[in-house]
Structure 1
Amino acid sequence: MDLGLRDRIALVTGASSGIGAATARLLAEEGADVVIAFGHDEAGARRTMAAVEAAGRRAWLCRFDIADAAAVQTAIRTVSAQTRGFDVLVLCAGYNAVTPFPNIAPEEWNTVVGINLNGAFYTLHAAIPFLRDGAAVVTVASVAAATGAPHHAHYAAAKAGLVNLTKSAARALAPRVRVNCVAPGIALTPMGRDTVANLAPDYAQTKLALQRYAEPDEIARCIVFLASPAASFVTGATLDVNGGRDMR
């Protein structure tokens, strides 16, 4: 299926590993050129860059601290001068810490919320002037946004905020730009595997209708769909991709 992404310019945050890396690669396979935005994992970002180039598309590396508004704004301005704007923006950067609610220190709360919610806002806000007409934004939240999470309440709260940021941005930027959200369940990424390590061994079999965890590509395909003209009449939506953990 041709999703209509050939020669589009996409920027993907959190693109050095996991769902972000898979999304960047799949966007390239659909014909998009990709800006690979990352924080600290340059080696992972370069692996993603190689995958994009192997698909025959152009790739740019863009390093910034997503929790630093000024750094984000500078980076977005700099890379947009090279790409001359963006057709797709995927906000996939994320960070989680497994800490029981009573033990969460304010510093840890601020770090998790700073990356997952503030960072998404900073990036989207900085990118608005450079989003082309008809552009699509996809945020990446979590099933925890709807269910809560006693061992990572800061992450769940930040992702719930991201779902509502998506709706607000969809209203504010329409009709020129579409904004949607994907809310994954547990995927077998580095962060996801840390989560699995703290769950009961039979969690997938007893809690998920599909009785398994997701592969990163399974989440990325949904992101790419929402980023594409194939989803041209979808905005302000949250797509649950959780294997049947919660059916709303």
Structure 2
Amino acid sequence: MEGEHIFDISDDGIYVLPAAQTVKDQYLSDREEKVKTGISKLDHVLGGGMTRGAVYVLDTGSKTNFREVIGAIYEERVKAGDGILSLLSGSQTIHELRSLVSFFGTELDQLKEQKKLYFIEHYDRPLPTGWEDAVFRVWNMTNEEYEGFLRNQCFSMLKDSKSKGTNWFASYDLNTVINERGTDYVLTSFAKEAAVLRSIGVTVLVLCNFKEVGEQVASFLERISNGVIQTWVDGSYQYLQVTKSPDGQISQPYLLESIEEKPYIRLV
């Protein structure tokens, strides 16, 4: 295994602490239920997939393309029968997300009809016809009103649905929340939001560009999350690495290669 490893040499022998290992989250790592990403190598380095009810951060550089990662995860969640809650970004509309998932051979319309697909929209943008009931419009809410909406309406709905047997996956664009509600809001409120989602058993993928949000927010996110996946561009290549996981394992950097069949990318 590559890396500079620590050796403890004593009268009892030699003990090796591998470099690609951090402190294990015993509570989460022992959970058997995994949320598949649809990318086999990524599932492997995550110990079988994302742990159900954990919070993961996908650190996306400004030049990186993570559309295929999102598309693959959405397809797997639809196939598994999970509900999906998506906090949309300024650069992604419902139309574009539907097209992306359709590219993977999955349609979101049926999920919407089953009341297992909802969007949180921070921008006053046109909606697909018939999708009004699936969208929470929050662009005119104050931060206090937004907190109340999450607590009393959104999270309450997820808890009620979970009690009836539906598992949920949440995709959360944090750059949008910072742009629209400010850094102070994230630093004071996101940890509470993450704690509530964990308690309901919702698996959360937080999309964020660490360089754009700054060192303070990036450190905060790394601390409160259960897993961190970083993807970046160096020269002509894009890389992906798991730098934090519930089982304490850190992966090597992998090249992201485009392929012709689903999920259209693989880790090399």
Whose RCO is larger (CA < 8 A, sep 6+)? 2
TM-score bracket for this pair, using the shorter chain length: 0.3 to 0.5
Superposition TM-score, scaled by structure 2 size: 0.42
Q: Give the structure with the larger strand fraction.
A: 2
Superposition TM-score, scaled by structure 1 size: 0.44
Q: Give the structure with the larger helix fraction.
A: 1
> Which has the larger Rg?
2
